[in-house]
Every structure is written in structure tokens, then in C-alpha cells.
Amino acid sequence: MNDLYTRRAVVAGMGVLGLGLLAGCSPARGLEFKHGKNMSNEILGRKFSLKDTQGNVRTLSSFYGSMPMIFFGFTQCPAVCPTTLARAAQIRKLLKGRDRDLFQVVLITLDPERDTPEVLDAYVKAFDPSFTALTGTPEEIAAVAKEFKVFYEKVPAGDTYTVSHSSTSYVYDTRGTLRLSLGHSLTAQECAEDLVTLMEIC
């Protein structure tokens, strides 16, 4: 199965790369994913503006040239967030060469009050040094979550709280167009297969 993730030889043999360049990776019908959902006709996350853990302002255009996978979570998340990050790290290992370098994992915190930049940075980089995280004021986070149509709410838990939230990951192409959503139940291999499909065309 590892050969599946070495797309250069496959593309060269089939001429898919040439077709992808001619198509400009614009037509939604040109993307057929086996596991995730084609989001090419959706417009989400175009206007967000948040800060990374070094205090730099980041927008969608900051990730042009890479293929960001954006998802929402928080560092004290008991299950969904760590499993999503662990899966993302495994996906990155399955991808080969330039495909691996293109894949950029981005966590947007839903708990900016507790997730300081230092805490966020240490958290995501514990899974992979290439991963990054974004934060903002509670109002900014609420606006970005609304733009992505992400549900979240604080839930009391003893003398503290947890955050219930959506678990979908969103993948953009190198030009900042939303292309793919990946459900939490998908395996790393299934996600990698869909990412290779996207990378072949875009």
C-alpha cells in the first residue's frame, strides 16, 4: 500500500499531472473522494484572521502553497482532539516526499482563555513539529467558528468546564480553496488516500 502514496510515478505514467494543470483544479466534478466529502462547492473560512503561537497574524492566504488541514479543538480535550492530532501525524508519515511537505496541520483553539500560546505550541508540536495552532480573543474565535459553521459550547464539569464541539477537519488546496472534509471516524490511511487524490489534481 505504500506505493499508493508515491504519486509521482503514477501521475507520470497516466498523464494525470498534465490533466490537472490544464484543469487548474477548479471543477468540483474533477474530484472524486473515496472516503471524505467533496467541499469544492462550499465557501467556508475565507475571511478568518487569528494569531499563531508566535503572535503573527495568520489568514487563509498565509497558507497558500501548502495544503492546510484545519480543525477546531482545545488542549484539555479528553479524546477527539488528541486522536485527531495523532491521526494527522500518522497521515503525514504515510505521505511521501513533496506531498508530506505540502500537508500542513492547523489547530484553531476553541478555548482561548486556557489555551495560552505557549500551551498551544507545546501541545501541537508534541504530535509533530510541523503542526501549528491559532488563537484569538473569545469573540474572534466565535466569529471564526461561525464562519466555518463549527458548533461548540462550554459544558460544566465539576468546578471547571469542558468544550463540546464539532470534529470535522477541513482541507484546502494550495490556492486556498476548500476541497475536502474528513470525518473523525476515518482512518489515517483513508484520509491519506483522499489527500493523494486531491494532490494529484491540484
**CATH at residue 150:** 3.40.30.10
Tens digits of residue pLDDT in 39-69 = 998 889 888 999 999 999 999 999 999 999 9
Asked if 38 and 182 touch (Cβ cutoff 8 Å), the reply is no
pLDDT tier, 185 (very low <50, low <70, confident <90, very high otherwise)? very high
% of the chain exceeding 90 in pLDDT: 77
pLDDT value, residue 151: 93
Asked if 168 and 182 touch (Cβ cutoff 8 Å), the reply is yes
Which three cell numbers, joined as nine digits, stand for 77? 480535550
What CA–CA distance (Å, rounded) separates 70 from 107?
Answer: 6
Rg (Cα) of the chain, in Å, rounded?
17
Tens digits of residue pLDDT in 58-115 = 999 999 999 999 999 999 999 999 999 999 999 999 999 999 999 999 999 999 999 9
| Domains held by the chain: number | 1
Which three cell numbers, joined as nine digits, stand for 153? 459550547
CA distances from 175 to 3, 7, 58, 59, 103 (A): 27, 20, 15, 13, 13
Residue 195: give the domain boundaries: 2-201
Which three cell numbers, joined as nine digits, stand for 74? 482545545
What CA–CA distance (Å, rounded) separates 170 from 72?
Answer: 10
Residue (of 59, 39, 40) closest to 49 by Cα position: 59
